[in-house]
Structure 1
Amino acid sequence: MPSTLPVSDLLSSSPAYTSDLGAAYHGDSRELLQELPTNSIDLVVTSPPFDLAHQKEYGDDWGEEDYQDWFLEFAAEVKRVLAEHGSFVIEIGGAFEEGTPVRSTYQFELLARLTSEEGMFQLAQDFYWHNPAKLPSPAEWVNRRRIRVSDAVTHVWWLAPNISTASATEDDEHPIPEADNRRVLTEFSDSQKYLLHKRKYNSGERPSGHNISEEGFFTDAGGAIPDNLFSATNTRSQTHYDKMCQRAGLDKHPARFPPEIPEFFIQFLTPNSPYENWDRGYLDRPIVLDIFGGSNITGKIAEDNDRHWLAFEKDQDYLESSELRFLSPGEVLRKYEDEQRGLDEFTDK
């Protein structure tokens, strides 16, 4: 029977902050992951740092192979902590080779190592995030020389622990990995609504080889099965997080991924409440983990969807501002006014 303990009891470290269903931790994910019990996590959704051209916090002369080796250290621990039915979802951007109009293949090489050489995961399905608001880039090849088009799509990989094909398909009630596209149905198009109403279409074999039955398009399952392409921006500036960062005087995380991505995978790859019959997990409901927490949009979406969550973040400033997602405007005002008042009193002395 799954435990009803709070999710923060899974680690020996003290959380930086907690909410009703989750806990955020400051530190290196490689070390924090080691504190988690084996097979305790139902879903990992994350967006790792990947800006190789600008190096950021990665260190000097950190090349593509170094990046792959670095990431595989995290992946090995993710594999250990994932439940057999769990999933590992990675949103990872591409890059151009420095100084040339040639695409780097580093993320494909990493995927190959994750799924073949290292043998840790299987690629359940690949997804793509199109950001229609992304500025034309890279500027040298797109804006100045005009020899490439804007790079506005990033890859999202849905990985599952490496298991036998038989285990993945023999149990329809409990598939491995856990997944159900009925939880993420979208609204039917106007044409499909009309077809369902009219109940008439041309059946038969299509040039593609598909043979459409006379009743095949009349099934109303409550919505359309989504495809593997997200189209969403990450440029929203009037969200609760944005407003609270401004009110608290904290810097926003510079590279947030849109809420549509974690929301889709949390709903698709973990069951909805109520959890009276939930017996597959470590706790009384699914646990969602983000190992590169950033602004912790994954944790917030998990909480809003009644799942447990954990977030690991190495940067103290990012972690501090991420807590604002879980605080009301009044709570933010009181917390940061009190802190500023205490600082002013200390300065006056």
Structure 2
Amino acid sequence: MTPDELAGPVREIYKTDSGLMLHGRIEDALKGEHLISLKGKVNLIVTSPPFPLVRKKRYGNETGQAYVEWLEALAQSLADLLTDDGSIVIEIGNAWEEGAPVMSTLPLEALLAFKKAANLHLCQHVICHNPARLPSPAAWVNVKRIRLKDSFTHVWWMSRTKNPKADNRQVLSPYSKDMKRLLTTQKYNAGARPSGHVISETGFLKDHGGAITANVLELDDPASMPESLLKFSGTKWDANYRNYCAKHNLPAHPARMQALLSSFFVNFLTNEGDLVLDPFAGSNTTGAVSQALGRRWLGVEANEEYAKGSQGRFVAAEE
């Protein structure tokens, strides 16, 4: 299905107490009453746009240079929706040249073009690492065995200001066994290091409730993720959605955002009651985790069947 075939009026699919799902292209939604009324009011945009794959998929991805131009054209309108201290978080996967064991730079080109078009600041580049992913690209990894398994995606956190709302205390990781031991014994080898840094015991042996999370998110390793978000891990959290789609003869989205990833940034960059937008909502993972975390949400999805199926994320709580 091409983007032109997805075009049409933007309309409401369903509501919850905290959010609203719209069916329509984001290009059209940005011109409509729902999003125009939210200019300057969105605290966080967190999304995973269709990846710049070689071949078109059912969810309407652009390919090649057209992908870069398409994402670039959306940048300013999306940035205009943000509050002064709001953020945009975009996850985008890797791409490969057609028929060759050569990586494409299109994902990075698209991100850079998006950043420049909206005059955004890159607050941090985060890697979403998932070693449990199936080996790909299969032709070069499984068959010819000349490349390594592709197991990460890029996540760019951008904002209009250099100091957007953020609090890493809201996404602390569990302490390691060694750190727990140090907090118990209160004994640490303080002093100068070969690098010249001087490590003091002052503050270092204070229990802050957890460790500051690194900018490489290991989504398949619960020990490295905030304990408060582990309810979003694994396949069990997705069960209601999959069952709902099967019951209503609706296709499940083939490239669903990982709930741990979405919930991490919602918790990190917003407070309860804040508004979160996903302009490429798909199965509406972002809306569901936002609601579970006490945020308001708005989703926009170009494929009507995916938009309808995403209601399955809320039926357990609403029925």
Separation in structure 2 between the aligned mates of residue 232 and residue 244 of structure 1, nearest angstrom: 25
Partner of 1:80: 80
1:287–1:96 CA distance, 2 compared to 1 (3 A) = same
Moved more, 63-72 or 227-236: 227-236
Partner of 1:215: 202
Partner of 2:264: 264
Structure 2 residue identity aligned to 1:156: V
The structural deviation recorded for 1:33 is 2.1
Structure 2 residue identity aligned to 1:189: S
Tell me the alpha carbon deviations over residues 80-131 of structure 1, each in whole angstroms, 9 at most, x when there is no partner: 1111100000010011111111111112112222334x25211100111112
1:40–1:109 CA distance, 2 compared to 1 (3 A) = same
1:94–1:152 CA distance, 2 compared to 1 (3 A) = same
Query: Is the CA contact (8 Å cut-off) linking 2:10 and 2:25 kept in structure 1?
Result: no
Q: Does 1:178 align with 2:177?
A: no
Tell me the alpha carbon deviations over residues 290-337 of structure 1, each in whole angstroms, 9 at most, x when there is no partner: 000100010000101111100000101100100111112994xxxxxx
Moved more, 194-203 or 30-39: 30-39
Structure 2 residue identity aligned to 1:83: T
Separation in structure 1 between the aligned mates of residue 317 and residue 164 of structure 2, nearest angstrom: 39
1:98–1:208 CA distance, 2 compared to 1 (3 A) = farther
Structure number with larger C-alpha Rg:
1
SS in structure 2 at match of 1:217: coil
Query: Is the CA contact (8 Å cut-off) linking 2:23 and 2:302 kept in structure 1?
Result: yes
Query: Is the CA contact (8 Å cut-off) linking 2:128 and 2:154 kept in structure 1?
Result: yes
Q: How many residues in Structure 1 have an aligned counterpart in Structure 2?
A: 294
1:67–1:219 CA distance, 2 compared to 1 (3 A) = same
Separation in structure 1 between the aligned mates of residue 234 and residue 67 of structure 2, nearest angstrom: 27
**What is the TM-score normalised by the length of structure 1?**
0.79
Structure 1 outlier segments of 4+, above 3 Å: 57-60
Structure 1: runs of 5+ lacking an equivalent: 1-11, 169-175, 273-284, 332-349
Partner of 1:126: 125
Partner of 1:18: 15
SS in structure 1 at match of 2:94: coil
Structure 2 residue identity aligned to 1:64: G
Structure 2: runs of 5+ lacking an equivalent: 1-8, 221-232
Query: Is the CA contact (8 Å cut-off) linking 1:133 and 1:235 kept in structure 2?
Result: no
Query: Is the CA contact (8 Å cut-off) linking 1:30 and 1:77 kept in structure 2?
Result: no
Task: Give the RMSD, CA atoms, in angstroms.
Answer: 2.2
Tell me the alpha carbon deviations over residues 189-215 of structure 1, each in whole angstroms, 9 at most, x when there is no partner: 111110011111111222344321132
Q: How does 1:298-317 map to 2 (within 5 A)?
A: 298-317=286-305
Q: Does 1:288 align with 2:276?
A: yes
Partner of 1:48: 49
Query: Is the CA contact (8 Å cut-off) linking 2:52 and 2:67 kept in structure 1?
Result: no
